[in-house]
Amino acid sequence: MNPERLLEHFEHTGFGATLREGGSPMKDQGVVVYCDPDILGGTPVFVGTRIPVKALLDYLAGGHTLNDFLDDFPTVSRVQAVAVLKQGMELLVGSDAHPA
């Protein structure tokens, strides 16, 4: 799966308990990604930060490790990063199971 497809998913779907558009994400346990037009123009960011999810995907695509990302972006928790990666893997498996 390419990073753009995952980001499009974050922007256009409910993403279960881990994405919330609008409202108050900090009140919802389990929410790790948030889209708000007033925060970076609606770019999906990790809750409680202004760190775009794309930063994590770019790090990994560039050959860096998850630990490298977490060291460089300490406001993102390991739980948040792993939840995003897990959702990406679920999308990947789902797209492989149902070819377009």
- Distance CA(6)–CA(24), nearest Å, equals 22
Strands (E), the chain: 19-21, 33-35, 45-46
At 64, the amino acid letter reads H
pLDDT tens, residue order, the chain (100 aa): 455 666 666 555 544 334 444 555 544 556 788 888 888 998 899 988 999 999 999 999 999 999 999 999 999 999 999 988 988 887 777 765 555 5
Question: Which domains are assigned to the chain?
Answer: 3-97 (1.10.10.10)
Record the pTM.
0.70
Q: What is the pLDDT of residue 17?
A: 36
Question: Do the beta carbons of residue 55 and residue 71 sit within 8 Å?
Answer: no
